[in-house]
Structure 1
């Protein structure tokens, strides 16, 4: 295994459509590029994160999550839409990261919301944020609305097709290694935060 594809689900809810989107993206990318899949749930580190003024204030578990993001071969970052933008704690986590730590890192951007009217949050909010970090935000962002899910799982073929196109855009950044065979039930290692 050459490295990890790390996803951050910026939702504080459980269960979460954002987590389902992140897990699907991480699972597909890890299988395609032969990496280990890891999903970090913002809700699992929220307590430490909320009280941190600088990265050194994080407890060991939250700091390990940030380190995984920084060291990952590729990132998947997704947030539910709150009042037309990403969530505040999601942004706070990114605020703690050194501005050069994500430079050149390929990042698949995603978001979830109630309806189609929030789809541009990726272009107007997330993409400029990652531009500040000089990360390589993949060209295709993936937005999912309530209608794309059934019983908490992605049910839209159009969404899965878009997700596969976005995952394919990791190719120039991730040297191909032996593909992994991944069963859905154990596909993503969620960190026990």
Structure 2
């Protein structure tokens, strides 16, 4: 099975990436079959995302990330919280994704922040975004505030969410990227 982790952390090291790695490792432990993990660092795609938003065409790295997401059996998406919501870069990545790429795909939502006051970001921002994209969002989302690291409650939430995602991944609807029809063939079909 293929698991793609979309991490929108901006710093190195990043608590967002740390949470993403812990979630991915838990899914690998919980899965009934081997799980190959691919990590997409949105920070590394920022320029190509901006170009795609303005010209409509993804660069090579962005196209590879889009294909990985479309072909995954499951996704883990993790964002830092900015102004009580997901980061703009995180949202922009999903804005340039094919609108059908996440249909029926199991997704585990997670976020990191400096305080527990932002924990509702999972329910008021992330869950609606992925419901709109017609993904299957697992019931347990994982939020990690600064004080949660090393706490038993975080480890329990990680394991529960990972178990839910691992159970859904074998049932995933896998979609490959859109088929590209050469322009000459499109013209010929019109005649």
TM-score tier after normalising by the smaller chain length: 0.7 to 0.9
- TM-superposed CA distance for 1:174, in Å, is 2.6
Equivalence map 1:72-83=2 (5 Å): 72-83=72-83
The aligned counterpart of 1:128 is 128
- TM-superposed CA distance for 1:175, in Å, is 3.2
**CA 55–141 in structure 1, closer or farther in 2 if over 3 Å, else same:** farther
Count, aligned residues: 169
Q: Deviations over 1:43-90 (max 9, x none)?
A: 111121122127952211121111111111100001100001101111
After the TM superposition, list the runs of 4 or more consecutive aligned residues in structure 1 that deviate by more than 3 angstroms. none
Indicate if the aligned counterparts of 2:3 and 2:75 stay in contact, CA closer than 8 A: yes
Indicate if the aligned counterparts of 2:30 and 2:166 stay in contact, CA closer than 8 A: no
Indicate if the aligned counterparts of 2:73 and 2:170 stay in contact, CA closer than 8 A: no
Larger radius of gyration: 2
Cα distance in 2 for residues equivalent to 1:162 and 1:8: 19
Write 1 or 2 for the structure with the bigger share of helix.
Answer: 2
Counterpart selection for 2:157 from 159, 162, 165: 162
TM-score by length of 1: 0.82
SS in 2 for 1:11: coil
In structure 1, stretches of 5+ residues that fail to align are: 150-154, 177-193
Larger RCO (alpha carbons 8 Å, 6+ apart): 1
SS in 2 for 1:52: helix
In structure 2, stretches of 5+ residues that fail to align are: 172-191
TM-score by length of 2: 0.83
Counterpart selection for 1:32 from 30, 38, 55: 30
